[in-house]
Homo-oligomer: A and B are copies of this chain.
Amino acid sequence: MNSRLYKFVGRDIGAWSVTHSSVIVGPAFPNVTAIDIVSGDDGSNLAGVEWVLQGVTSNERYVTRSEKKTLVNRQETIGRPDSNNAALIPIRKTAEWWALSQDERREIFEASSKHIAVGLDYLPAIARRLHHCRDLGTAEPFDFLTYFEFKEADEGAFDELVSKLRASEEWKFVDREVDIRMTRCGA
């Protein structure tokens, strides 16, 4: 199994309790009460499982060296023990997006939509990890699984961040999106 593979397992009980789930755009997606996040070949028990979303972390597709330096200096990693809130936001982009050339996608991603610049304003409070699904061997319902962890006090800032991105030109190319909020079980 690819060592960069992560699975988000929607089920009846798990490490993260789902507090709210909403479809932002596109078809319905089954609600679950909890989510487990497993990495690599962790052979987790599949009892009570409603769905499994999977994706791999990978090289960045758009950032330049100077942007990467700024990001690396400011960002924190997933797994901070005091981050008791999380969001899993699976996203699919349109065929039109994927037919664009690299320079066109970069132009929309940063020059028009300021995806990196906007995101920087919310570091280090919001930790993120991006998982790619589109080039898995299996047919997947989403192209990306975006995942975020933060303190409860930062959920308002996180809401502001996602609403800015959803208003961007880049998001005109998003045709399926579900927003799942969770708290750490027992926190």
Contact = CB atoms under 8 A, between A and B. Distances in A.
Interface of A: 1-5, 54, 56, 58-65, 67-68, 98-104, 106, 132, 134-140
Nearest to A132: B135
A76 B5 CA distance: 35
> Can you tell how many copies of this chain the complex includes?
2
Given A2-B138, A58-B135, A136-B137, 7 more contacts: A1-B137, A2-B135, A2-B139, A64-B102, A64-B103, A65-B104, A135-B136
Contact of A56 (B2, B62, B100, B135): B135
Contacts of A67: 101
Contacts of A4: 135
B137 A101 contact: no
Given A60-B101, A61-B61, A64-B101, A137 B106 contact: no
Nearest to A61: B102
Nearest to A93: B59
20 contacts: A1-B138, A2-B135, A2-B136, A2-B138, A54-B137, A56-B135, A56-B136, A56-B137, A59-B98, A60-B101, A60-B102, A61-B61, A64-B101, A64-B102, A64-B103, A65-B104, A67-B101, A68-B101, A132-B135, A135-B135
Contacts of A104: 65
B2 A137 contact: yes
Contacts of A99: 59
A1, A103, A104 interface centre (most CB from chain B within 10 Å) = A103
A93 to B, nearest CB: 10
